[in-house]
Structure 1
Amino acid sequence: MESRQVIETVAKACDDKRAEGIVVLDMKEVSLIADYFLICEASNERQVQAIAREVKDVADSHNIDIKRMEGFDQARWVLVDLGDIVCHIFHREERSYYNLEKLWGDAPQLEVNL
């Protein structure tokens, strides 16, 4: 599966669990960390975990390799490393504090079909 298809699949999984503020940043020209960042938020820890679980389940069902998942137990900022794509699932308060969109402001945003 190509990166763009993975992004669409993961974004839909986030949206299915009512993630808010879904943004995809094209990181290819600004960072060596990943080609894309998918960033979203939820209003409470349970919802953060539900979104992360859905991303994992959808990735597994599409044979998308998850390299690492961090932060699930605290559910304030869950990072799901899908190789070329890193999915950041924030608690609303943490997202505004870390403000990755501003930190990586040079990265163009991609439109995703939800």
Structure 2
Amino acid sequence: MLNKEKETDQLITQIIKGIEGVKGQDIEILDLREIENTVSDYFIICNGTSNTQVNAIVNSVQKTVSKSIKENPWHVEGSSNAEWVLLDYVHVVVHVFQKHIREYYDIEGLWGDAKIVKIETTH
């Protein structure tokens, strides 16, 4: 059990690093572990300012995670229009939005019972 948590923590750290590396904005971690019937343990949500930046964030996350801990997403969805891209790392699902799409879907509101941690970025 502890090993899975340690691996999940490392994964989250690398995902955040990947997002920050290309100035992803409004990064939040939703801890879903205490909610019944969830698809994963954590959601990491962030947004970019354009489809170009959304794609850059997605590529940066994949490259950072793959290089540091040799993990690739099990599934990637939404890359073609880059308004909302989902990277599924099984225990951790990353949602990369364009800002207006994020506001529209309000994932944080849908998962209101989750513990939310905002990541402070320097930009």
Q: 2:17 aligns with which of 9, 12, 18?
A: 12
Q: State which structure, 1 or 2, has the greater radius of gyration over its C-alpha atoms.
A: 2
Moved >2 Å (runs of 4+): 110-114
Kept in 1: contact 2:19–2:60 (CA 8 A):
yes
Amino acid at match of 2:53: Q
Q: Match of 2:55?
A: 49
How high is the TM-score relative to the length of structure 1? 0.93
Structure 2 residues without counterparts, runs of 5 or longer: 1-5
Q: 1:26 aligns with which of 31, 48, 64?
A: 31
Identical columns (%): 32
Kept in 1: contact 2:17–2:64 (CA 8 A):
no
Aligned-pair CA distance for 1:112 = 5.0
Task: Kindly provide the CA deviation profile for residues 69-95 of structure 1, in whole angstroms up to 9, marking residues without a partner as x.
Answer: 110110000000011000000011100
Structure 1: how far apart are the matches of 2:38 and 2:111? 12
Q: 1:113 and 1:92, CA in 2 relative to 1: closer, same or farther beyond 3 A?
A: closer
Q: Indicate the RMSD between aligned Cα atoms, in angstroms.
A: 1.5
Aligned-pair CA distance for 1:10 = 0.3
Map 1:1-114 to 2 at 5 A.
2-30=7-35, 31-61=37-67, 62-110=69-117, 112=119
Kept in 2: contact 1:8–1:112 (CA 8 A):
no
Structure 1: how far apart are the matches of 2:64 and 2:120? 16
Structure 1 residues without counterparts, runs of 5 or longer: none
Aligned-pair CA distance for 1:4 = 1.3
How high is the TM-score relative to the length of structure 2? 0.86
Kept in 1: contact 2:62–2:72 (CA 8 A):
no
Amino acid at match of 2:112: G
Aligned-pair CA distance for 1:111 = 5.6
Structure 2: how far apart are the matches of 1:98 and 1:13? 23
